[in-house]
Amino acid sequence: MSQEIAVIGSPDFTTGFRLAGVRKFENVPEEAKDEELDEAVMRTLEDEDVGIIVMYQEDLDYLSRNARQSVERSIEPTLVTLGGTGGASGLRDQIKRAIGIDLMDE
């Protein structure tokens, strides 16, 4: 069974992914992130059809402690964050968490 990519964030963030063919998304307007982002993340985590969740790095700051821990500890679906200051080391950590080994280890 193949799994899908889901995108969570503002309509401006999700639109490009939707145009590229991503069918699962949660639009959370900027002004509603404090109230609605946790619910959108938890719904997506519980969706068995989702294998990867894409979010904007800075949106993690809006999550409650429980929701943030849930996405950070989740192996399937795996969270991939874009933007922010994570850079290559952030991507390295995400890959390591997803597959269990550090591919860039010397």
- Pick from 29, 24, 89: nearest CA to 54: 24
How many whole angstroms separate alpha carbon 62 and alpha carbon 89? 22
- Please tell me the pTM assigned to this model: 0.79
- Pick from 40, 50, 48: nearest CA to 9: 40
Domain layout of the chain by residue ranges: 4-99
pLDDT tens across 51-105, in order?
999 999 899 999 999 999 999 888 899 888 888 665 555 666 666 666 666 655 6
| Cβ-based neighbours of 35, under 8 Å, separated by 6 or more | none
CATH class of 4-99: alpha beta
pLDDT tens across 69-82, in order?
999 888 899 888 88
- Would you say 62 and 8 are in contact if contact means Cβ atoms under 8 Å apart? no
